Structures are given as C-alpha cells and as structure tokens.
Amino acid sequence: MALGAQRGHILAAVLGQGLAVTAAGLAIGVAAGLALTRLMQALLYEVAPSDPTSFVSAAACLVVVALIACLGPAARALRVQPVTALRYE
C-alpha cells in the first residue's frame, strides 16, 4: 500500500498464495487417493472406490477451510500502516 497497491490487490495476493499451496496439495492428494483406492476397497461400505462425489466434496471442504485460514493473514496485511511497513524494511 505504501508503494501504491490497492487493498483489493493485497487481498488477492495473499489469498492467491494460500490457495496456490492448497491447489498443489489437493492435486497431490487426489492423485494419491485415486492410486490407493484399491487398497482401501475392503474398508469402504456401500461406496465405490473412486466415487466422484466423495472426492469432490472432500476437496470442496478443504478449499473452504483453506480460504478461511487465509483470511486472517490477509486481514492482518490490510491493517498494516504503510509507514510502519516502510520503516520495517
């Protein structure tokens, strides 16, 4: 903000970084989950090993939790006074 950034840009930058890590984790997790479904097939009750509803709902829950977790640091970044940030650097 001290260098002319708008509040929306700062919010988008902080949330974008957090959600980029989340997307990478989801990609790895879904790939591993699909690869390991055959091992877990005996433990599943009335659910197909590669049930798309289960994968999508779990991924959606994780994205919502990650978004909520990123909102705290984003709000804190918006509250920093530009003069304080420049003095710190």
Residue 49 in any domain: the answer is yes
Domain range enclosing 79: 7-88
1 within 8 A of 82, measured Cβ to Cβ:
yes
Say how far apart CA 16 and CA 84 lie, in whole Å: 24
Residue 2 in any domain: the answer is no
For 4-39, how does the pLDDT look when each residue is reduced to its tens digit (9 = 90+)?
Answer: 778 888 889 989 999 999 999 999 999 998 888 878
Q: If you ran DSSP here, which 8-state letter would residue 45 be given?
A: S
For the chain, what percent of residues have pLDDT higher than 70?
A: 93
pLDDT of 50 above 90: no
Domains: count for the chain: 1
Say what the pLDDT of residue 36 is.
Answer: 86
Residue 1 in any domain: the answer is no
- Residues near 83 by Cβ (< 8 Å), separated by ≥ 6? 2
Residue 75 in any domain: the answer is yes
